[in-house]
């Protein structure tokens, strides 16, 4: 209808109105040729008002419009099967009009031929450009032009919990050919560092992810787009993982900032290859605190003894104290204590929280010395 407000469309509008019986215009008045200007002038101002209001209100698109607009930028990917050969499919996101796609790095991409099917049903063969193993992110390329694509930008500020999101993905592979991918609605549940595992292996990414209140950990969902109410891409659906702490399935998305950093690293050939799991550890013995040896994989970090005249002795740490936190990080194993200390830079203050006879005691061990790994 906005087209009708432009001058070029006046004639067709007039014809339309001539045919509508409910208009309170006598037919005779229209047939007189010079009065067509007089006929239309009363409509021009109201139409302009409508146009302006329409533009103002259009700043808040409806969910249906947002989905329709965004779904065209999500693709269906098919490749090599996994162990059960049922999951040889996932989703991908168009990030450039020339056909650059980001998705998760998974066994689906191990195939010689990765098939990519667009929202309009067109098939392409995708080439794997590169992989960021730490973020488990992959960049693919198809030979195309003028495709609808997301403008992926780092976030100015993270979306807080409660933000409405829509996840677009080919979950369970239900969409085929020119069928649109599946839309699911939910909210951001939290934004936290990822501590997760797949089977027994720990996931390599340790940065912050969006945990979603939306059941997105389905076959086919990884690589799907997570958008906010305005249609902006805020994340990419991750792989099916369980939380290390609680064992529950994680519905999560890699934030846009990570998508930008990861794809830039891939395209410029500067992908970091050392897995994050090899973060340096720091032995608390260097501070004079000797913890109980690891008999099981999860020995609690009890203090066994204190070296005399050491930072630990001066700080008041005692045998039988149970370390429960290093700084703000809670620790439940000796390995976690070493990792938490390793994260600190030399010179950073080392503060521990311990339990002694049922009460919490804060211990200040002074600055972290330069140390060798055990």
Partner 1 sequence: MNMKRFASGIMATAALAALLAPTRATAEPTLAEEAAFQGAVARVAAAVVRIEPLALTAAAGAGVAEAAPGSGPSTGTIIAPGLVLTTSFAIPADVNDAVVVVPDGGRRAARVRSRDRSRGLVLLAVDGLPEPPPLGEVPRARLRPGQWAIAVGRGWSAAAPTVAVGIVSATNRAWGRGVQTDAAVSPVNYGGPLIDITGQVIGILAPLPAEPAGMTEGTELYDAGIGFAVPLEDILAVLPRLTTGESLDAGILGITYRSRDQINGEPVIGSVRQGSPAARAGLAPGDRIAVIDGHSITRVADARHAIGPKHAGDAVAVTVERTDATGKASRIEATTTLAAEMPPWRRAMIGVVADAEGDDAERGPVRIAWVLAGSPAEQAGITTGDAIESIVSGRNAGATAIEGRASAAGVLAGVEPGERITLSIRRDDAIREIEIDTIAMPGDVPTDGPPAASGGGDPLAGPLNAVEVVKLAGADIADPAVAVIPTGTGPVGVLVWAGIPHGKVAEAEAASWKAAAVRHGVAVVLVGSAEPAAWSRSDIAAVTRALAALHARRPIDATRIGIAGTGAGAAFAWMVAERLGPAAGGVALVEAALPQRAVVTPAEPAAGWWVLLGPGGDDAARDRVAADQRRLDKAGYPVGLMPQDDSDAPPAEILCRWVSVLGLL
d(CA 92, CA 121): 14
Buried b (16+ CB within 10 A) or exposed e, 109-132: bebeebbbbbbeeeebebebebbb
Question: Which residue's CB is nearer to partner 1, number 12 or number 370?
Answer: 12
Q: Considering the rule CB under 8 A, would residue 176 count as an interface residue with partner 1? A: no
Q: Considering the rule CB under 8 A, would residue 322 count as an interface residue with partner 1? A: yes
- Minimum separation from the CB atom of position 336 to partner 1 (A): 9
d(CA 369, CA 326): 15
Choices 56-64, 106-114, 253-261, 311-319 (CB under 8 A): range interacting with partner 1: 56-64
Q: Please say whether the dihedral angle defined by the alpha carbons of residues 245, 248, 249 and 253, taken in this order, is positive or negative.
A: negative
User: Which residue of 73, 76, 135, 191 would you call a contact of partner 1, by CB under 8 A?
Assistant: 191
Using CB under 8 A, which residues numbered 346 to 365 contact partner 1?
Answer: 353, 355, 358-360
Q: Considering the rule CB under 8 A, would residue 239 count as an interface residue with partner 1? A: no
Q: Please say whether the dihedral angle defined by the alpha carbons of residues 244, 257, 328 and 325, taken in this order, is positive or negative.
A: positive
Buried b (16+ CB within 10 A) or exposed e, 78-100: bbbeeeeeebbbbbbbbbbeebb
User: Which residue of 197, 333, 343, 351 would you call a contact of partner 1, by CB under 8 A?
Assistant: 333
Question: Which residue's CB is nearer to partner 1, number 9 or number 186?
Answer: 186
Work out the number of other CB atoms within 10 angstroms of the CB of residue 307.
14
d(CA 188, CA 193): 14
- Minimum separation from the CB atom of position 362 to partner 1 (A): 9
Structure tokens of 330? 């809670």
Using CB under 8 A, which residues numbered 219 to 238 contact partner 1?
Answer: 229
Q: Considering the rule CB under 8 A, would residue 54 count as an interface residue with partner 1? A: yes
DSSP state of 159: P
- Which residues in this chain contact partner 1 in the complex, by CB under 8 A? 1, 17, 23-25, 38-39, 41-43, 46-47, 49-50, 54, 57-58, 60-64, 160-164, 186-192, 211, 213, 215, 229, 243, 245-249, 296-298, 300-301, 322, 324-325, 328, 330, 332-333, 353, 355, 358-360
């Amino acid at each position: 209808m906005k087209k009708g407000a432009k001058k070029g469309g006046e004639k067709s509008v007039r014809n339309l109105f001539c045919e509508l019986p409910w208009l309170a215009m006598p037919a005779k008045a229209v047939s007189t040729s010079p009065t067509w200007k007089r006929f239309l002038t009363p409509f021009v101002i109201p139409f302009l008002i409508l146009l302006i209001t329409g533009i103002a209100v259009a700043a808040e698109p409806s969910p249906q419009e947002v989905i329709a607009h965004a779904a065209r930028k999500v693709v269906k990917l098919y490749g090599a099967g996994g162990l059960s050969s049922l999951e040889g499919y996932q989703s991908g996101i168009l990030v450039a009009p020339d056909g650059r796609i980001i998705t998760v790095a998974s066994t689906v991409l191990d195939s010689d031929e990765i098939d990519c099917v667009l929202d309009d049903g067109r098939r392409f063969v995708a080439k794997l450009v590169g992989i960021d193993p730490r973020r488990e992110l992959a960049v693919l390329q198809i030979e195309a032009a003028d495709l609808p694509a997301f403008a992926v930008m780092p976030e100015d500020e993270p979306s807080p919990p409660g933000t409405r999101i829509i996840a677009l993905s080919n979950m369970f592979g239900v969409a085929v050919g020119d069928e649109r991918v599946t839309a699911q609605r939910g909210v951001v549940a939290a934004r936290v560092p990822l501590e997760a595992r797949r089977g027994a292996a720990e996931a390599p990414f340790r940065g912050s992810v969006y945990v979603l209140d939306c059941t997105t950990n389905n076959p086919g969902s990884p690589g799907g787009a997570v958008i906010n109410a305005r249609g902006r891409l805020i994340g990419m659906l991750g792989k099916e993982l369980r939380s290390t702490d609680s064992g529950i399935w994680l519905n999560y998305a890699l934030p846009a900032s990570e998508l930008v950093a990861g794809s830039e690293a891939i395209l410029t050939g500067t992908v970091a290859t050392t897995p994050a799991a090899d973060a340096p550890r720091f032995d608390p013995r260097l501070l004079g605190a000797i913890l109980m040896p690891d008999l099981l994989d999860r020995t609690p970090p009890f203090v066994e003894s204190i070296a005399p005249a050491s930072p630990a002795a001066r700080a008041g740490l005692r045998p039988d104290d149970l370390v429960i936190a290093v700084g703000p990080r809670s620790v439940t194993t000796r390995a976690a204590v070493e990792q938490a200390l390793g994260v600190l830079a030399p010179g950073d203050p080392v503060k521990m929280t311990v339990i002694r006879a049922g009460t919490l005691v804060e211990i200040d061990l002074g600055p972290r010395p330069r140390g060798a790994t055990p």
